[in-house]
Copies of this chain bind each other. A is one copy, B any other.
Amino acid sequence: MPQTRRYIDHHCHGIVDADLTRPQLEALMAEAHLPAPDGCTQFDKPLGLLVRRYCAPVLGLDPFASPEDYVARRTELGGREASRRLMQGAGMTELLIDTGHRSDTILDVPQMAEITGCATQEVIRIEAVMEAAAKQAGSAEELVSLFAEMMEAFARDAVALKSIVAYRVTFDIDQTRPDAGAVVKAAGDWLAALEAGESRRLDNAVLIRHALFMALDICVERDFPLQLHTAVGDLDIDMPKCDPTVFVPFIKQAEAMKVPLTLLHCYPFVQQATWLAEVFQNVYFDVGFTLNFTGPQAIRTMEQAMEMGPFFKQLYSSDAFGLAELHYLGRIQFERMMDKVMGQWLADGDITLKEADRIIDMITHGNAARIYRLTE
């Protein structure tokens, strides 16, 4: 496939462009909060093989360079230059960047534009807005009004909102809009918990529900999507309750308001996500994170994404965070796995080359351009 195909990474994060020690690099290669057991390395897993095969040559090494050589070469080039090579090698056209996670440790949106040469757009994480509001609010009422103001203000320059409700309180919650009184009470409770050091981040279900429904209102007003973290993540994920089918009552309300919802990652509930995309007019999905972390076997996840999912509902993302390697591999993995699926369909006579090309256009940029309203 030509490098010139338009590619919109509709969900990714900034990177670290500093030099990285091997422990720092390995930490960014894992969802684990502790290092690999003694004597083991994160290079000995599917993602590690991908880094050695595909990223090593970008840094001027042979494929399958040893982890030692990889880290040494990355340091020799400098984190900045290594990252620049990888980011530009990814060949993205546009990046939609979630700025709500550890944003003090990674490049911001203009810096990402500079290092990649891509058009960049911001996606606002609603829980981060509430946390920012809480830092300034002197009372429950002020938190509520400040949050509303900040949401409006941030949304003006963004192309979408995002929620990590699944991380904080799971999808297994009351999915109705809370009334104003309950919201103020919850705001007071949470501010008190923050003050007492009992809470570090937003984990109050009433406040998150308030944020979600305000997000829907803003999405209606601005005619753009709400992204939802779904399933796979780190140790904070209570997996059975992060199955996207648990969130159907909310999905129905968003559908009635005509707000597109984009389900991110979805593993190991990819089949469930594609079923939702079949049933609900407003449900979109990607398998971004999964393609990198399942390495050579990512073909099976890509196949699941193509099982029941309408072609006008799938999106491309890398979900890369921290490492330019993950941006680069996201593109590599998507392209080679999609080529494998389409190659099989062609061999089976299930599609024509022209149709395959059209479907890949839809998934790499057409669907994202439509729902995020991105003109070329």
B248 and A238 contact, CB distance less than 8 A: yes
Name the contact of A240 in the complex, choosing from B39, B240, B300, B301 (C-beta under 8 A). Answer: B240
When distances are taken between beta carbons in the complex, the residues of chain B under 8 Å from A239 are 243, 245, 248, 272, 275
User: Smallest CB–CB gap between A5 and chain B, Å?
Assistant: 18
Name the contact of A46 in the complex, choosing from B34, B308, B312 (C-beta under 8 A). Answer: B308
Interchain CA distance A262-B283 in the complex, whole Å: 31
Q: Does A198 contact B (CB under 8 A)?
A: no
A37 and B312 contact, CB distance less than 8 A: yes
Q: Does A75 contact B (CB under 8 A)?
A: no
Number of chain A residues whose Cβ lies closer than 8 Å to a Cβ of chain B: 71
Copies of this chain, tallied across the complex:
3
B300 and A304 contact, CB distance less than 8 A: yes
Interchain CA distance A245-B236 in the complex, whole Å: 11
- Which residue of B has the minimal Cβ distance to A252? B235
User: Smallest CB–CB gap between A364 and chain B, Å?
Assistant: 15
Q: Does A278 contact B (CB under 8 A)?
A: yes
**Which of A159-167, A181-189, A209-217, A289-297 lies at the interface with chain B?**
A289-297
When distances are taken between beta carbons in the complex, the residues of chain B under 8 Å from A31 are 275, 278-279
The 4 closest A-B pairs by CB, nearest first: A239-B245, A268-B271, A45-B310, A296-B350
**Interchain residue pairs with CB less than 8 A apart (24):** A32-B278, A34-B281, A37-B282, A37-B312, A39-B370, A45-B278, A45-B309, A46-B309, A49-B351, A49-B355, A53-B350, A63-B349, A235-B248, A239-B245, A239-B248, A239-B272, A268-B271, A278-B293, A295-B350, A296-B344, A296-B348, A297-B304, A297-B341, A300-B300
Residues of A bordering B, CB below 8 Å: 30-37, 39-42, 44-46, 49-50, 53, 63-64, 232, 234-235, 238-240, 243, 245-246, 248, 252, 255, 267-268, 271-272, 275, 278-282, 293-298, 300-301, 303-304, 306-312, 341, 344-345, 348-352, 355, 359, 362, 370
